[in-house]
């Protein structure tokens, strides 16, 4: 098992500070839980200020005692929110003052996740600070994983494989989607799954994944993915429902696992009996797309190109209307980065033209959705290496046909 060395925290901060230099930002203010955890090792309520040069400070509101025990950076109590600006000036005098007195300081912040109310309050208490969007550099730094992060994702992959094996062993006609998901969740929880998988997208939520059969799997919803699922009610309109599973129905098992904050994402298809020919044909195309994507996975490849190649293959097969959803609910990507959040960079989509780099971890998930029949496809998680890729997913890659 790769260990989390003391140097890792220094490396993470050094990468961020280099990005601040390139973006001409004087510092960065991190307020989101995942960002706090990534740079400090703690997730206690507060704010991390990282100057362009020098040591950062973690200002903690609650719980200071736990933050002091967990944090790998300089950690202090936040006096009061209203005095936060004065506290920053006292702690970083060379940054916030010059010979003429106060000066405007350009500070990047995680504005993609920051509530508007917090932004307005920060503008009020930090009058000398110009808050600008630093979310792209924060996401860019986290897109390349270390050995420790890759090991945690790999551990999650092993747990998912155990859970899938248990779920398939218990699968039978009349079983509900929720029961199947619960069997697998029990295995994962006992192996250390946190019970949730974090997403950065606003109003996007996910627990363990989507387990859904036939038309229920194709039922569209707010979730920004190729499959939604019926869910238990309008209060959580996605994922598993109380619908019973019948013979010859495509069962989408799109699940993940979160170990020590790091997530894996994979999809497999099962059927009690046999898929109808149209779904089998679409599944075969999904497999062909992921094989084609694998042949291109290497440093230097543009994420956009992988998506466009998949689009072309779906169109050639006459399935473009069903690729990654259908109708107005189609999503415009083939895959996504993964790590502390399930929707990290890079995204395999139009507009993402920064080349793949060694250390990036991405999930590729070609799927086809048919409103009357369900969803078929496949998803694996990959590590980009110096020479190509390594598949982190360990579940057998096959269509699971269960015969009563």
Q: How far is CA 242 from the centre of its chain?
A: 27
Q: What are phi and psi of 137, to 5 degrees?
A: -75, -35
pLDDT confidence of residue 402: 95
Q: Cα separation of 216 and 230, whole Å?
A: 5
Domain ranges of the chain: 6-142, 147-402
What's residue 99's pLDDT?
61
d(CA 329, CA 126): 42
Cβ atoms of 227 and 379 within 8 Å: the answer is no
> DSSP per residue over 348-395, as a string?
ESTT--SPP-TTBEEEE--EEEETTTEEEE-BEEEEE-SSSEEE---S
- pLDDT 10s digits, 43-68: 999 999 999 999 999 999 999 999 99
Residue 1 pLDDT > 60: no
Residue 340 CA to residue 142 CA, distance in Å, equals 9
Residue 104 confidence (pLDDT): 85
* Radius of gyration in angstroms for the set of CA atoms belonging to the chain, rounded to a whole number: 23
Give percent of the chain above pLDDT 90: 94
Nearest of 226, 212, 47 to residue 119 by alpha carbon: 47
What the block records as the tokens of 236 is: 């959580």
8 A C-beta contact, residue 9 and residue 41: yes
CATH 3.40.350.10 fits 6-142, yes or no: yes
Render pLDDT for 84-143 as a digit per residue (tens, 0 to 9): 999 999 999 999 877 666 678 999 999 999 999 999 999 999 999 999 999 999 999 999
Q: What is the pLDDT of residue 249?
A: 98
| pLDDT single digits (tens) 291-336 | 999 999 999 999 999 999 999 999 999 999 999 999 999 999 999 9
pLDDT per residue as tens digits for the range 347-362: 999 999 999 999 999 9
pLDDT at site 206 = 87
CA distances from 373 to 250, 279, 280, 369, 370 (A): 8, 8, 11, 8, 5
In the structure, what pLDDT confidence band is assigned to residue 6 with cuts at 50, 70 and 90? confident
For the residues of 112-169, what is the DSSP string, one character each?
TTS-HHHHHHHHHH-TTEEEEE-HHHHHHHHTB--HHHHHHHHHHHHHHHHHHHHHHH
Q: What separation in angstroms does the CA of 179 have from each of 30, 34, 47, 243, 254? A: 40, 31, 41, 10, 15
- The answer to whether 208 touches 255, Cβ cutoff 8 Å, is yes
Rounded to whole angstroms, the Cα distance separating 387 from 238 reads 38
Provide the 8-state DSSP code for 275. Answer: -
Answer for the pair 241, 177: CB distance below 8 angstroms, yes or no: yes
The share of the chain scoring above pLDDT 70, in percent, equals 98
Q: Domain 147-402: state its class.
A: alpha beta
Q: pTM for the whole thing?
A: 0.95
Kindly report the length of the chain: 404
Report phi then psi at 3, rounded to 5.
Answer: -100, 160
Rounded to an integer, what distance in angstroms lies between the CA atom of residue 57 and that of residue 30? Answer: 11
């Amino acid at each position: 098992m790769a260990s989390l060395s003391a140097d890792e925290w220094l490396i993470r901060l050094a990468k961020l500070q280099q990005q601040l230099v390139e973006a001409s930002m004087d510092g960065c203010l991190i307020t989101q839980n995942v960002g706090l955890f990534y740079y400090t090792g703690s997730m206690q309520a507060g704010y991390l200020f990282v100057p362009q040069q020098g040591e950062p400070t973690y200002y903690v509101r609650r719980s200071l005692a736990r933050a002091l025990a967990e944090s790998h950076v300089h950690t202090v109590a936040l006096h009061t929110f209203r005095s936060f600006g004065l506290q920053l000036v006292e702690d970083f005098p060379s940054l916030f003052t010059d010979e003429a007195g106060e000066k405007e300081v350009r500070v990047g912040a995680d504005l993609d996740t920051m509530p508007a109310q917090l932004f307005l309050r920060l503008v009020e208490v930090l009058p000398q600070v110009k808050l600008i969007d630093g979310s792209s550099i924060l996401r860019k730094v986290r897109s390349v994983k270390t050995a420790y992060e890759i090991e945690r994702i790999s551990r999650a992959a092993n747990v998912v494989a155990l859970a899938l094996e248990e779920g398939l062993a218990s699968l039978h006609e009349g079983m509900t989607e929720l029961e199947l998901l619960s069997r697998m969740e029990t295995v994962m929880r006992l192996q250390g799954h946190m019970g949730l998988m974090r997403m950065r997208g606003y109003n996007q939520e996910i627990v363990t994944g989507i387990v859904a059969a036939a038309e229920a799997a194709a039922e569209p919803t707010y979730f920004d993915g190729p499959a939604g699922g019926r869910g238990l009610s309008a209060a959580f309109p996605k994922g598993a429902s109380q619908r019973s599973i019948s013979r010859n129905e495509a069962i989408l098992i799109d699940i993940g696992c979160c170990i020590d904050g790091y997530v894996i994402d994979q999809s497999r298809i099962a059927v009690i009996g046999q898929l109808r020919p149209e779904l089998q044909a679409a599944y075969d195309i999904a497999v062909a797309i992921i094989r084609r994507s694998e042949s291109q996975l290497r440093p230097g490849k543009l994420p956009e190109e992988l998506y466009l190649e998949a689009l072309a293959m779906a169109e050639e097969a006459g399935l473009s209307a069903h690729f990654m959803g259908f109708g107005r609910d189609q999503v415009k990507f083939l895959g996504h980065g993964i790590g502390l959040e399930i929707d990290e960079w890079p995204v395999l989509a139009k507009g993402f033209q920064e080349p793949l780099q060694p250390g990036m971890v991405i999930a590729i998930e070609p799927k086809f959705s048919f409103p009357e029949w369900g969803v078929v496809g496949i998803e694996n998680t990959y590590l980009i290496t110096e020479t190509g890729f390594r598949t982190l997913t360990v579940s057998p890659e096959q269509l699971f046909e269960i015969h009563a």
